[in-house]
Chains A and B, each alone.
Chain A
Amino acid sequence: MIYNLVFLLLFMLGFYTILVKKNLIKLVIGLNIMEAATFFWVMALNYREGVIPILKTGSKAAAVVNPLPQALILTGIVIGASTTAFLLTLIIEINKYANVIDLDILKGLRD
């Protein structure tokens, strides 16, 4: 299926960013790309034909998409936003004390 390949591409792009890049902010961006890829994949796997899961009073219920993964992903997005905010805070603190956000320089490998 095409969404599997798209998920793979996005996930590996994020993974590549985390493995190769040295800038701490780029690492957070890579983590976010991986996160978004996972959310997209869960939503795409559970997709089935139907209207949005908001019923209407009076009319007969039509085929509705699965509301369960949507609720789960909503939780995931909130947790992802929290972890991103916390990671950025840590980067702000590191920048304040070391005045640099490059991993190599922080570890003393490069000046």
Chain B
Amino acid sequence: MKNSIVILLLILLSALLIFSFDFIPEQEIVVDSTAEHIITKGLQETGSLNLVTAILYDYRAFDSMGESTVIFATVSAIVLLLSFKTLPVSSQGLSFIVKNTFGFLAPFIFLFGLYVITHGHLSPGGGFQGGVILGTISIILSIVYGSAYDYRKYPPKTKTLLETGGALLFLFIGGLGLVLKGHFLANVNPLINEPGRLISAGVIPYINIGIGFKIGAGLAIIFYSMIQKTYVEEELKS
């Protein structure tokens, strides 16, 4: 009964939307001058081969800072809601084979995350994507080795330090642009600027590193809070 009313309502809404699709202009008619400017001049203006990274960390870097602030606010809210509770260890870890295999693989996952972060201006990737890969290491650690191990190996203090450090690095680079070029988050070029090199594109790689560690640590903190990973005293001593 109620289902049929809802479905009828949705069909009505769909019909209205289908009529409105006719008013969307065709791609050929729209002159997208912003995209044209970025495609033709983006490489010379920013030195970044990856145009998406050029938009995210140069043209719209201030917006990316707001985005990382959203992550920061989410992490703060989740920690505020879920912390201050002590529960026993939530998982004891998987079998011997899984533990050894992950111990072998973990450095490579870390290396891959670092590669994606630092090559954000040359190849697909960047701070957000690489940060998520770094965040997975902590998540897999607490699944495979049990929650107490991750607590001992990477305590929440380290993660908080990494997160705030990344945010502060971003702010510091923004201030650097303000001092050297006159406006916030300007793309200053302290070193050689030859497109295609690892050290190029001005401050974009450094912003990527800051964002990457911030996102990785933030995701690890979110997961840590969600599974209520607290420790039993005896286990911590052993």
Contact = CB atoms under 8 A, between A and B. Distances in A.
Interface of A: 1, 4, 8, 12, 15-16, 19-20, 45-48, 52-57, 61, 64, 66-68, 70-71, 74-75, 78-79, 82-83, 85-86, 88-90, 92-93
Contacts, number: 105
Interface of A, helix, strand, loop or mixed by DSSP: helix
Given A16-B7, A20-B3, A55-B43, A78 B49 contact: no
Interface residues of B, number: 49
A80 B83 CA distance: 23
Contact of B78 (A1, A20, A61, A89): A89
11 contacts: A16-B10, A20-B3, A55-B43, A55-B49, A57-B196, A67-B54, A74-B56, A75-B64, A79-B70, A82-B73, A93-B82
Contact of A53 (B10, B40, B51, B63): B51
A12 B143 CA distance: 36
B6 A16 contact: yes
Among B7, B35, B54, the most chain A Cβ lie within 10 Å of the Cβ of B35
Contact of B27 (A46, A52, A89): A46
Contacts of B34: 68
A67 B39 contact: yes
A67 B226 contact: no
Interface string B62-84: 01100100110110011001100
Contacts of B6: 16, 19-20
B14 interface: yes
A107 B81 CA distance: 22
A53 B50 contact: yes
Contact of A82 (B17, B49, B74): B74
B225 A89 contact: yes
